[in-house]
Structure 1
Amino acid sequence: MRMAVTDPSVHYRDIVNSMMSAMLVLDGELVVQFANLAYYQLFGGTESETLGHSIFNVHSEIWNQPALRPLLESVIPHDVDVRGFKLEQTFPVIGARVLNVSARRVTRAGAPTDQMLVKIEDVTNAEMAARAADESVEKTHAMMTEVHHRVKNNIASILSMLRIESRQLEDEAGRDVLQRIALRVESMGSLYELLAIHDNTGIVRLRPYFERVCHSIEQMATSEHTGWSIEVRGDDLPVSIDDAIALGAVVNELVANAAKYAFNGRQDIGSIRVLMQDRADEIHITVTDNGNGFDKDHVDPKSTGLGMRLVDMYLASLEGTIERESGHMGTSCFIRVPNRTRANDLASSGTLSAAPKEIRKPAIVRGGDRSANGASHPHKRHSEAGAAAPAAE
């Protein structure tokens, strides 16, 4: 591309001489016709040592670079623009520097030949600042990875002690409590394991996390139950660490509850499914089983109800809701929570208005309970012979 200066009153030398960046004007033979004050201030030398000399003989350590010289030689004959060529080295006069070199062909009205304008920017400070920032980020990532590894190892130690205590207990109720606590701890451990493996961006993908949570439940329940499976499918949604902790705890309680109670007395093959769906400003999670179903009037007397209280507590922290339906075809739990990760992304990008709408804390709705407005949620009772699965811990 040519840059034309048609006004003869424009004294380009004065303009170039006033620039803060180092500038050179070369002729077609790449002989220096002009160097501005910034050039001499940066590289030293005098006019007599610079003007009238080939650029490759003036500060040759700069211009005789194997990658740069062919580019400069192509600017005038082939109308090539050189933009932001980075030159990093230790120079005799100015020491270690990072320079950005740009060059383009210049056509002046009335001039017999084209010329070349060369611009040299000293970007050392900016480059060093960027590298320092990158190093700081890398150190932070390394530190967070170490923290996650240590937390994961501590969780593994706690799990080991819980399992030892559980195996030594003869009381079935006490053993069950320890196993449920172990599952809750292992759910947290799965999260930190993912954080230790992947980059520490503060974002967790739900699908691999839920798969690990459910795998832990399968492993723990294998000794007591056979003939059922757990499947995790749906959208792989990114959420914050805090939201992942809460959602992982909710899914852990619901799946562990189904694994313990849904298939009692059943000989056929059962299944538990966890489905995740991206609904723009909401995340929908459905936990279903094809087990016995439950009746709220038949609750396991050994159940403490702690699991469902934890579910309610975590969903309240997420401003989410849960609806439960149960019958002879099984039980379904429908969870809806705001997609706060997406909302935060939109807010940071300026897509959302500065004044957010007031968020109403939604009610937690259980099958058979009264909702916030007094309406009764439909609850399907077990209608076939056989014991219904209790509304569990």
Structure 2
Amino acid sequence: MRQYEAPEDAQTLAMAIVETIPEPFVVLDDALCLIAANDAFYKIFDIDPARSLGIMLYDLDERQWDIPVLRGFLELAVPQHRAIADFEFERDVPPLGRRIMLLSARTVRYEGSDRSNTLLAFRDVTEARKAEAEKQALLEHTEKLLEQQRVLFQEMQHRVANSLQIIASILMLKARAVTSEETRHHLEDAHQRVMSVAAVQNYLHLTDGIDQIEVAAYLRKLCEGLAKSMVLDSNPVTIDVTADRSSIPSANAVSLGLIVTELVINAIKYAFPSPRLDARILVSYEVQDTDWKLVVSDNGRGKIETNAPPEPGSGLGSLIIKALAQQLDAQVALTSTDAGTSVAITRATFTSRMPNAA
């Protein structure tokens, strides 16, 4: 370390350092009297330099610095030579008003002397604290609005679910009442559409607020609900689900769920016209990096009967499925033989590890 030949040189350097500090900075002697300060201290606190040197800190500016919390802290810390970092206190600063200040302090002791100096640095954090308070208030207000939105959304979901159930019931009653086979077929198709939406809506209602949906659990819950509502005791059908562990955005889950519901309901209605002990529908979902493949297959009658109702490759059902698949950037492929029907929804190039047929 460079040694200065004259004490005046060291003092000049010390004062130059003090003056270059942009925030208020003071140097006190061991009696806490001011022996040096920079221009920022004098300007911000409007203190006359000529009337401050040699004055005790608490007596400065008509005793504006005689703040009990500040006095207590300094009188405890300075004699023990404890460094102070970001001690917060408040004081009035004309004409700025009430300000929040952070104080950092350090006591310097000199070898071979009982004298000491205390260095004080002040930082005005009023605007920062105000910004933090406004940010917190905004966050609380946003949370309140989001909570209101969640309540309204839940109420809307409840009303939608009730409305779908009512519509489905009306459509089924009408389908049973009409004498025209064509009209009955259209009403049953409409009923199927409503049930598809209701099944997906019901599951997503249970996962409200979750951005990512776990596919395996989602498909199992969906198919369990379909089995309970659509499979008759007189014509039992087993619905199995095999799915890789993965998650998808809730928006994609809606489209995927509607596709599965549409295909499963279609298989329940048309694949097994007469009871079979081995009647089975398999829903499989595989993932490979960003690609995936969904297959809904059955071991029903397929195309064995030429007078069978339309398979899921034609009509309104296929249009809906193709439109939903396009939303997922996927392609639709149908295979139907006397061994059953299989519909595959594939995103990009995907090599399946599972058999398509049930």
The normalised TM-score by structure 2 is 0.65
Q: Which residue is equivalent to 1:348? A: none
Quick check: which one's helix share is greater? Answer: 2
**Is contact 2:282-2:298 (8 Å) kept?**
yes
Q: In structure 1, what is the Cα distance between the partners aligned to 2:247 and 2:357?
A: 34
For structure 1, the 5+ residue unaligned runs are 339-361, 363-379, 383-393
| Letter paired with 1:60 | I
| Letter paired with 2:255 | A
Is 2:329 aligned against 1:335?
no
Is 2:255 aligned against 1:246?
yes
Is 2:241 aligned against 1:237?
no
Change beyond 3 A, Cα 1:302–1:258: closer
1:217, CA displacement in angstroms?
A: 1.7
Structure 1, residues 190-220: CA drift from partner, whole Å, max 9, x if none? 366256x326xxx342535545533432232
Q: How does 1:27-176 map to 2 (within 5 A)?
A: 48=52, 52-53=56-57, 58=65, 60=67, 63=70, 69=73, 73=77, 82=85, 101=102, 103=104, 115-122=118-125, 123-169=128-174, 170=176, 173=185, 176=188
**Is contact 1:156-1:189 (8 Å) kept?**
yes
Structure 1, residues 73-93: CA drift from partner, whole Å, max 9, x if none? 4998576x846x7x5x87666
Q: In structure 1, what is the Cα distance between the partners aligned to 2:305 and 2:78?
A: 87
SS at match of 1:220: helix
1:310, CA displacement in angstroms?
A: 0.5
Count of aligned residue pairs for this structure pair: 321
Q: Which residue is equivalent to 1:292? A: 300
Please identify, of 165-174 and 247-256, the stretch whose mean Cα deviation from structure 2 is larger: 165-174
Q: How does 1:172-251 map to 2 (within 5 A)?
A: 173=185, 176-187=188-199, 189-190=201-202, 193-194=205-206, 197-198=208-209, 203-207=211-215, 209-223=218-232, 225-231=235-241, 233-239=243-249, 241=251, 243-251=252-260
Structure 1, residues 224-249: CA drift from partner, whole Å, max 9, x if none? 643413436433423263x3332332
Change beyond 3 A, Cα 1:97–1:14: closer
Greater Rg by CA:
2
Q: In structure 1, what is the Cα distance between the partners aligned to 2:157 and 2:33?
A: 66
**Is contact 1:276-1:286 (8 Å) kept?**
yes
Q: Which residue is equivalent to 2:327? A: 317
**Is contact 2:157-2:205 (8 Å) kept?**
yes
**Is contact 1:5-1:107 (8 Å) kept?**
no
Q: Percent identity?
A: 18
1:160, CA displacement in angstroms?
A: 2.6
| Letter paired with 2:166 | M
Q: Greater relative contact order (Cα 8 A, min sep 6): structure 1 or 2?
A: 1
CA RMSD of the aligned region, Å? 4.9
Q: Which residue is equivalent to 2:285? A: 275
1:312, CA displacement in angstroms?
A: 0.5
SS at match of 1:301: coil
**Is contact 1:315-1:321 (8 Å) kept?**
yes
SS at match of 1:217: helix
Q: In structure 1, what is the Cα distance between the partners aligned to 2:264 and 2:107?
A: 72
Q: In structure 1, what is the Cα distance between the partners aligned to 2:305 and 2:66?
A: 92
Structure 1, residues 297-349: CA drift from partner, whole Å, max 9, x if none? 857336672111111012223332233445676554443347xxxxxxxxxxx
Q: In structure 2, what is the Cα distance between the partners aligned to 1:15 and 1:234?
A: 65
Please identify, of 168-177 and 304-313, the stretch whose mean Cα deviation from structure 2 is larger: 168-177
| Letter paired with 1:198 | G
Q: In structure 2, what is the Cα distance between the partners aligned to 1:35 and 1:323?
A: 83
Change beyond 3 A, Cα 1:119–1:191: farther
